[in-house]
């Protein structure tokens, strides 16, 4: 007699599908938590790189860039700031000091990948919001704006997952 091969019963299939659904339900929040942590780590590293780049710029030229905005909430890492810190993003075809007026030696102070720059050429965090930067413009040894006072000559931060820089609770800061 030839043995009959039986397939899985409907009940067995439903049990397996149920177990898989439970496992996926347990794993998805853990995976999302790991991804959120990775985004925060990336934002912190970027903010610290921005600060290091501006400090290197100041050491090189002895001043802050002329594009420094004295706004009370800190300037966004705008296209001009991106071009100053990373000279390769300057418009091609210009030569000499006209090519990089605030960075005449065309030094690359920070490596900025293309996927970190939005359509307006702002340096953006993992949530698509431009990083903010604030300078010690009066050289008193501290950087102050409406959100923070920090004893350093330049600070940078990300608005965090809520994409609102004014709600400081989830902001990711270069100095912490």
Q: How far apart are CA 111 and CA 107, in angstroms?
A: 11
Spell out the alpha helix ranges (H) of the chain.
10-61, 79-85
Mean pLDDT rounded to a whole number for the chain:
81
pLDDT score of 70 = 47
How confident is the model at residue 17, as a pLDDT?
96
Domains of the chain in start order, with CATH, are 14-173 (3.30.700.10)
Q: Which long-range contacts (CB under 8 A, 24 or more apart) does 94-103 make?
A: 101/66, 102/65, 102/66, 102/67, 103/57, 103/61, 103/65
Q: What pLDDT, on a 0 to 100 scale, did the predictor assign at position 31?
A: 93
Share of the chain above pLDDT 70, in %: 84
How far from 115 is each of 118, 128, 132, 148, CA to CA, in Å? 7, 10, 18, 28
Nearest-angstrom CA–CA distance, 105 and 121: 21
Rounded Cα distance between 45 and 60, Å, is: 22
Identify which of 130, 129, 120, 132 has the alpha carbon closest to the alpha carbon of residue 163.
Answer: 129
pLDDT tens-digit readout, 75-98: 666 667 877 887 665 555 444 444
Q: Which of 163, 133, 127, 164 has the alpha carbon at shortest distance from 58?
A: 133
Nearby residues of 61 by Cβ (< 8 Å), 6 or more positions away: 103
Instruction: Examine the pLDDT at 20 and tell me if it is beyond 90.
Output: yes
Residue 110: exposure state from Cβ atoms within 10 A (0-12, 13-18, ≥19) = buried
pLDDT digit string (tens) for 141-154? 888 777 888 898 88
């Amino acid at each position: 007699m030839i043995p009959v091969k039986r397939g899985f019963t409907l009940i067995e299939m439903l049990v397996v599908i149920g177990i898989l659904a439970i496992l996926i339900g347990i794993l998805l929040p853990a995976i999302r938590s790991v991804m959120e942590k990775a985004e925060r780590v990336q934002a912190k590293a970027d903010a610290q790189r921005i600060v290091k780049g501006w400090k290197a710029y100041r050491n090189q030229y002895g001043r802050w860039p002329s594009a420094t905005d004295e706004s009370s909430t800190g300037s966004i890492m705008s296209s001009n700031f991106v071009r100053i810190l990373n000279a390769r993003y300057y418009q091609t075809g210009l030569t000499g000091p006209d090519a990089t007026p605030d960075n005449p030696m065309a030094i690359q102070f920070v490596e900025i990948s293309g996927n970190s720059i939005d359509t307006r050429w702002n340096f953006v965090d993992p949530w698509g919001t431009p990083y903010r930067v604030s300078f010690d413009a009066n050289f008193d040894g501290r950087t102050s704006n409406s959100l923070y006072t920090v004893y350093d000559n330049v600070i940078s931060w990300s608005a965090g997952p809520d994409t609102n820089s004014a709600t400081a609770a989830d902001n990711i800061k270069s100095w912490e």
